[in-house]
Amino acid sequence: MNRGQPQPPADSPSNLPAKPELIGLLPAGGRATRLSPLPMSKEIYPIGFHQLPGADRLSPKVVSHYLLEKMRLAGVQKAFFILRPGKWDIPAYFGDGSMLKMHLGYLTVHVADGVPYTLNQAYPFVQQAMVALGFPDILFQPEDAYTALLKRQAMTQADVVLGLFPTDNPRKVGVVEFDQTGRVCQIIEKPPQSDLKYMWAIAVWTPTFTEFLHQYVQSATPDREVPIGDVIQAGIEAGLQVQAETFPEGHYLDVGTPDDLAKAIQEFGAAPGSS
């Protein structure tokens, strides 16, 4: 007779697969050449204001703060900025993440071959996690976009879910072809011409795609800067399931150019309650 501790039934909660941890990744390895010279990293350029916890005054709100808030709303408690050396003003500003009630960490990248290589620096820390990807120099709506992506992933069990926003300038973005079920058929990076009306700006993915990304980076010999959309497209061709969550009334703005930065300042720059 087994006189040890009684064992739970096979289908009891303690024997069910653990739900993967949800971790945010924010690649910040670029040099912001389109905005140079800048007195700070573009990811912490002040745009708008917010109320500091426990304070009776407003404080400037930086670009990437908006992204982190949206991640937190979807349940992301831990996130990593992945930085090139020299962007030490980002950890100096956000610190441990307590201002957002999050846990923030910082990794460095020392290659300039594109976002996939930047993201792969987080591989040892996110191998078993559900990843929420966001670009810290892009502003977008709606607020609950990541929540919608996670719901679609849970419903479809897709390896990757992309958040799609309307675009009228496909030459600047990665446009997406998808069918009526939401299955992504193709991602085309910055085509000179296209009839496709949606671009992707955010994503969530499972450990399956994290491993695919890692193997892609390990085996590739790039002769150009590789966009992450190319890796997702390679995953589609390899049989991974990629779904689209569209936001027909959504809005996105990349603050990486002077014109778009000016739009962001105009849209978000007024302090709450000002006329």
DSSP string, 197-235: -EEEEEEEE-HHHHHHHHHHHHH---SSPPPHHHHHHHH
**Contact (CB, 8 A) for 71 and 97:** no
Query: Can you give the pTM of this predicted structure?
Result: 0.89
Query: Measured between alpha carbons, how far is residue 206 from residues 1, 122, 130, 133 in Å?
Result: 42, 14, 5, 11
How much is the average pLDDT of 92-107?
96
Please determine, for residue 99, whether its predicted confidence score (pLDDT) is greater than 80: yes
Nearest CA among 59, 58, 62 for reference residue 255: 62
How much is the average pLDDT of 122-127?
97
* Cα–Cα distance, 42 to 30 (Å, whole number): 9
pLDDT of residue 111: 78
Supply angle C-alpha 190, 64, 146, rounded to 5. 70
Mean per-residue pLDDT of the chain: 88
Nearest CA among 228, 33, 24, 212 for reference residue 113: 228
How much is the average pLDDT of 172-198?
95
pLDDT of residue 130: 98
* Cα–Cα distance, 4 to 247 (Å, whole number): 54
Query: Measured between alpha carbons, how far is residue 239 from residues 49, 90, 233 in Å?
Result: 44, 37, 10
Token digits of residue 123: 């591989």
Can you list the domains of the chain with their CATH numbers? 20-268 (3.90.550.10)
* Cα–Cα distance, 127 to 131 (Å, whole number): 9
Cβ atoms within 10 Å, residue 267: 13
64 in helix, strand or coil? helix
